[in-house]
Every structure is written in structure tokens, then in C-alpha cells.
Structure 1
Amino acid sequence: MGKSLLMTYVLWALGGPFGLHHIYLGRDSHALLWMLTFGGFGISWIWEFWYIPGFVAQVNRCQDGKVQPKESEPTISAVRFFGQMSVGIYFGIVAVIGLSFLSSFYIVALPLAIGLGVHLVANVGEQTSDLKNTLLAAFLTAPIFYGRAIAMLPISITTSMTSQQNRRYKPPSRDCEPLSLRLYRLGLAYLTFSAPVAYSIIYNTTATITYMAEGIGSLLDWLSIFPSISRLLESILLLPYHIWKVVTGGVGLGATYFREWEKIYEFVNSFQSEKQAMAYKDPQLFSGP
């Protein structure tokens, strides 16, 4: 039985950020990606409104056996490459928050997390890639940037490039697995992703904030060569704090729990103050283009 376009749109509207419409269509890789990133950080979920008819048509053609194996290589997609990089960095940040206590973190956990994030994006839709080569690129790049918070960026770039080089089309399949089995796998993957993060945030908030602050500081330091981008990122990072102050009038800022998270603001704000002090000494250094 073919999939309904109307039902797909209903599920997209009701639970799109959690991938309900992709589960309905049997696009489990896409569903898992949406579950872990809240619909591609909310932006991609809204953007795919225009692509849903194509998703439904593709699934129905596959079920009817009208899809022939594609021998050609998929074209390089800048959007997919950027998505792989972004999700790779995101998975790296999550690994820093939840797994940085491991002694082999920078050699094993970090490249593994980034490689899996990149490969997950590579598996969205009709395409896939070679997991072994993607992970190999991540593990070979990781020792070069051992111990550096900025390591997520070069590892993500390298693995994304490797994944693009090994891109191919998935073979068409009409096999329909039971929904219970698919949900079990999705749930297991989601728990594997979220459990270390939840544990770290709940039981080790101070360390979590420290790792996040170090990562943010390294990123801002690297982006300081692009003043406009750096200022924009700083504004985005400080926006939740400023909204909180406007809404509450500063009430609750003395709470123990909030003081931990306020360290992010203090860290970024100190970075801005340092830049302003340097700008007074050398106005040309931080002037915009």
C-alpha cells in the first residue's frame, strides 16, 4: 500500500523535529538524524516542507518495484557536505560533554563520534558511503590534533571529504521490516547517543560547563580572523542569557544551578572584553573588512 502525502504532512507538522514522518516513510537514517538533532536544529525540518512530495513519490516507486539500480556515482552536494561537517562537529561536542573522562577520548571516542555523525548524514535518502573509510580518516586525523578542543573541526572536514569520495547509491529494496524492530533499533541508537550526555549534565555540571567553555573559546579564537563571523557567533551565544535577563529581570541568577550555566556567559563575555582592550591598542586589528 502506497504512502499518503496527506498523512506525511500531518506527521511532519505534529512530530517533524522527531522524525515521525520519516519513520512513516521508512527513512530510518533520516528519522534518527532528526531525532538526534531536533530536525536538523529546527531549520532543516522547516526547509524540507517543499521536499516531502518527492520523498513520498520515491518511497511509493520503490514499493512498486519501479526503481532500477543506479550504476552512476551521485553528484557532489555542497549541502550534504556542509551537513556532514555540521553534524560531525555536533557529535564531537556531544562526545566532549559525555565521554571526555575516558583516557583514550581524543584517540578513540572523539573520532568515533565524529565519524558516525558524518556517516549518518551520508546515509540520508538514496545515498550512502563507506563506513570503514570514513572512520579510518577520522582515526588517522585525530592524533594530529591530540588534546586540542579545535580538533573537532579538522576531523569533521577530513571525514566529510572521505565520505564524499566514497559516496554511492543505495541498492533499491522492497523489503519491509516490522515497525517494532525498526523502532527498537532507533530507540537503542537514541539511548546510546543521549545517555552519556544526560549523565554528565546531571551529575557533573561543572565539568560539562568547563568543556563547553573550552570548546567555545577555541572556536571563537579560531574565528577571530573573520571578525564579522566571530561577532555574529558571539551574539548568538549570548542571546539566551540576554533574553533570560529581559524576561526575568535578573531573578533567579543567584541560583546554584543557573550559576553553573552562567559560566558560559562569563567566558564569552571575557573574550569580548579582551578583544575590546586589544582594539584600543591596535584599532586596525579587529576592524571589519
Structure 2
Amino acid sequence: MGEANGTRVVKRQVNASNLGAKTKFRAYVLWLFGGIFGAHHFYLGRDDHGFLWWCSLGGYFGAGWLRDLFKIPGYVSDANNEPEYIEWFKNQVRTNNKPPFSTCRFIGGVVISYLWGELVYMAIPEDEVYGINFKPLMILIPAAVALGVWVVGNVGREEGSIWVPLVAAYVCYPTLTYLGDDSTWMSAMVLTAALSFDTWSKRWRLKPKKKRGLVRRLTILGLAALLYSSLWGSYFVFNARFTDSEGEEIKISEAVKHFLTSPIWLDLKASLHETWRHAQHHGFWATWRQLVDLTDPRGEINAYKVLGLSQTASQSEVTAKWRSLSRENHPDKVKGSEDERRVAQEKFMEIQQAYEILSSAKNRRQSRNRKPA
């Protein structure tokens, strides 16, 4: 009797542990529909991996996302601490004193650290803001580079200290900025930091990462996302430019400011305001039907415009105008070049189509009026 009770207790414990187990099915579904933003990694508790995917659009702009198609079974086994995976990992540790060189992980560290270092560089305002010169913040670029190398290096069952790439990046920073252009010194600093981490810092993660509560996970991820987004925001507000039709560079922030005073925006703003007022007085669905009509789904508004008539014109006026325009724009009257005849043919066809649209509308209305009440 006691053995039976003990067996039931063990079964309940096993079932309870299985409730929290991660499944390949869910991981693949999240990979398919949100993998480019790291959804499957967040599900498996790999928050650092998920954040890297989120800020690089699928792990180095989609490459890592495709690679995960084959790596997800291993990630799930790792998340569940399955005995087969743990035994495989122990064998790796016994065989190699330190994690072997991984081309994918190394390239990932280089790409992420370059992205983060370049982002900090771009986010620093080039001009003074309210009389403050932010150029001294350039000193943070090596820290961003080292952080990128370190985060990639600490994904999964590998880890390492941030101090090695941090020191390497800051040692290179003064010399490289003096000798090379922007892209050259950034690339050299990134490679130096990545190589130093791979050579002297990385090691096996013998103890699993400590599990964090949901609130703490969301707080950390939220702060990281906020910092990353604010850097992009600073870049677009202070430094981002585009080239106009005359080949001149214009700051996006200035273009947005001028757009808000442009005729096209003022007209759109007035239309939106009028739509809102109409919705307040006549209700949402009446306004929605009016908006649908204004999109001219049957082409009747444009047809009247092509024929040069108002929307209140009678069918006899439509027919008379159609005959007149057809005679005036008939392609046989054009004796010019091939392009002129082609333009005349297109205009003639447009007139015929407009007349057909309005005639069909008339027939529909007549059929609807003849229906018994």
C-alpha cells in the first residue's frame, strides 16, 4: 500500500514537471510567426538570444532566423535539461577545455558589435543641442562594441567576461580613430574585441543561468528595448538625412517640421478634422459609408470627371457628352507620330470606359427601383 502511494506521488511530480516543459511544436510555431523578432527564444527562456534577434531583425537580418530551423530541437532540449542533452554537453566539456571556435558565433559577435558601435556613433548629435556639445560621448563607442561581443559570447552554454573585449576596444580606440576613417577604425576595433574575447575570455557555462521571474524578465527586456530604440530615435532626430531631387542633403527632422506646414498636410489635417466632426454628429457607420463612397469603388466619380460633367448630370447629358468627346478624340483623326496616336487611343478608350461605367450604374439603379417593395 505504501509503495503504491509512493508511486503515485512520483507520477504526480513527473506530470507537474512536464507541465512546464517546452515543446518543439510551440517553438516552431513561434519561429514561423514571430521568429524574426526572437519570439521562440523568449519562449525558451533565451532572453539574450531573443533580444539579439529582435534588434537585428532575425539574427543578422534573417540569416540566424533561417539557421534556427535546424537548431530549435537542441534549444528545446537545453531548455528542458533533457538527460541526453546534458550528457552530450558533459562530453563536450570533457573533450574540449574551452568551447571550440564557432564561425557563426564569431561572425554574429562581429556583426552585432559593429551594429551597436555604429548605432552609438550615429546617435550622438553632430551639432550642438541647446548649446551642449555631445561629441565627448564618442568615448562610449568601445563600450557598445564590447557589449555586443559579450552578449553574443554569453548565449547558451558558453560565457565569458566583458572585461577582456572592453579593455581591447579601449586600447585600440585612440590609435584607430587617429589613423583611419570611420568605417576602418570601427571594423578594426570590432575585430580586435571579438578575437580577444574568443581567445582569452570565453569558457563553458557549467552552471545553468539562474531562472528569473516573469516581471524581472520583462523589466530587463523593456529597459534594453527602450535604450536601443532611444538610440535610433536620437539618430533620426539629430543626424539622419536624405537626398532631395536636386541632390542636396536635408535632415529628416527639418523635413518633418516643414511637412507639418505643407499644403498637403494641412489639407489632410482639415479632411481628418472634418471626418471626425461628421462622425460625432452622424455616427461611425454613416461616416464609414461616406468614406467608402469617397474611395469611388465603382469608378463613377472618376467617370464623371473624364466626361467633364458634374455628378448631378442626367443620363441624356452623359450620352450627349460621350458622343461629342468620342468624335473629338477618335484616333483616326490623329495624323501625327506613333506616340500621338497612342495617346489619342488611350484617351478614346478612357472615354468609352467612363460611359460604360455610368450606363451600368443607371441600369443597376433602374433594376433596383423596379423591384417590388
- TM over 0.5, shorter chain: yes
**Distance change (3 Å), C-alpha of 1:170 and 1:154:** same
Among 52, 57, 62, the alignment partner of 2:72 is: 52
C-alpha displacement of 1:64: 10
Is the aligned partner of 1:35 residue 2:54? yes
Equivalent in the alignment of 1:136: 167
**Distance change (3 Å), C-alpha of 1:100 and 1:110:** farther
Q: Distance in 2 between matches of 1:51 and 1:65?
A: 13
Q: Distance in 2 between matches of 1:55 and 1:158?
A: 30
What stretches of structure 1 of length at least 5 have no aligned partner? 214-252, 262-289
Letter in 2 for 1:155: M
Among 45, 48, 51, the alignment partner of 1:26 is: 45
Is the aligned partner of 1:199 residue 2:218? no
Among 175, 192, 203, the alignment partner of 1:158 is: 192
Q: TM-score, structure 2 length as denominator?
A: 0.53
Whether the aligned pair in 1 keeps the contact of 2:114 and 2:145 (CA below 8 Å) is yes
Whether the aligned pair in 2 keeps the contact of 1:111 and 1:138 (CA below 8 Å) is yes
Whether the aligned pair in 1 keeps the contact of 2:38 and 2:54 (CA below 8 Å) is yes
Please give the residue correspondences for 1:168-187 in structure 2 after superposition, counting only pairs within 5 Å: 168-173=203-208, 175-187=210-222
Q: Distance in 1 between matches of 2:137 and 2:190?
A: 16
Is the aligned partner of 1:13 residue 2:32? yes
Report the 3-state secondary structure (helix = DSSP H, G, I; strand = E; otherwise coil) of the residue aligned with 1:198.
helix
C-alpha displacement of 1:175: 4.2
C-alpha displacement of 1:87: 1.4
Is the aligned partner of 1:90 residue 2:115? yes
Among 135, 142, 146, the alignment partner of 1:115 is: 146
**Distance change (3 Å), C-alpha of 1:142 and 1:62:** farther
Is the aligned partner of 1:79 residue 2:104? yes
**Distance change (3 Å), C-alpha of 1:76 and 1:87:** same
Equivalent in the alignment of 1:283: none
Equivalent in the alignment of 2:351: none
**Distance change (3 Å), C-alpha of 1:143 and 1:259:** closer
**Distance change (3 Å), C-alpha of 1:97 and 1:48:** same
Report the 3-state secondary structure (helix = DSSP H, G, I; strand = E; otherwise coil) of the residue aligned with 1:177.
coil
**Distance change (3 Å), C-alpha of 1:99 and 1:259:** closer
Report the 3-state secondary structure (helix = DSSP H, G, I; strand = E; otherwise coil) of the residue aligned with 2:240.
helix
C-alpha displacement of 1:259: 6.1
Q: Which moved more, 1:168-177 or 1:141-150?
A: 168-177
Q: Residue by residue, what CA displacement relative to the aligned partner does 1:238-259 show, whole Å, maximum 9, x if unpaired?
A: xxxxxxxxxxxxxxx6599996
Equivalent in the alignment of 2:370: none
Q: Residue by residue, what CA displacement relative to the aligned partner does 1:68-88 show, whole Å, maximum 9, x if unpaired?
A: 774631001122112111111
C-alpha displacement of 1:172: 2.5
C-alpha displacement of 1:18: 1.2
Q: Distance in 2 between matches of 1:170 and 1:33?
A: 19
Q: Which moved more, 1:32-41 or 1:152-161?
A: 32-41
Equivalent in the alignment of 2:135: 103
What stretches of structure 2 of length at least 5 have no aligned partner? 1-19, 127-133, 253-373
Whether the aligned pair in 1 keeps the contact of 2:78 and 2:85 (CA below 8 Å) is no
Q: TM-score, structure 1 length as denominator?
A: 0.67
The number of residue pairs the alignment matches comes to 216
Q: CA RMSD in A?
A: 3.0
Q: Which has the higher contact order (CA 8 A, sep 6+)?
A: 1
Q: Distance in 1 between matches of 2:246 and 2:23?
A: 50
**Distance change (3 Å), C-alpha of 1:49 and 1:140:** same
* Structure number with larger C-alpha Rg: 2
Q: Distance in 2 between matches of 1:105 and 1:115?
A: 16
Please give the residue correspondences for 1:52-71 in structure 2 after superposition, counting only pairs within 5 Å: 52-61=72-81, 66=86, 70=93
How much identity, in percent, do the aligned residues show?
28
**Distance change (3 Å), C-alpha of 1:34 and 1:257:** farther
C-alpha displacement of 1:129: 1.5
Report the 3-state secondary structure (helix = DSSP H, G, I; strand = E; otherwise coil) of the residue aligned with 2:56.
helix
Is the aligned partner of 1:125 residue 2:145? no
Q: Distance in 2 between matches of 1:104 and 1:146?
A: 14
**Distance change (3 Å), C-alpha of 1:63 and 1:144:** farther
Q: Distance in 1 between matches of 2:209 and 2:197?
A: 26
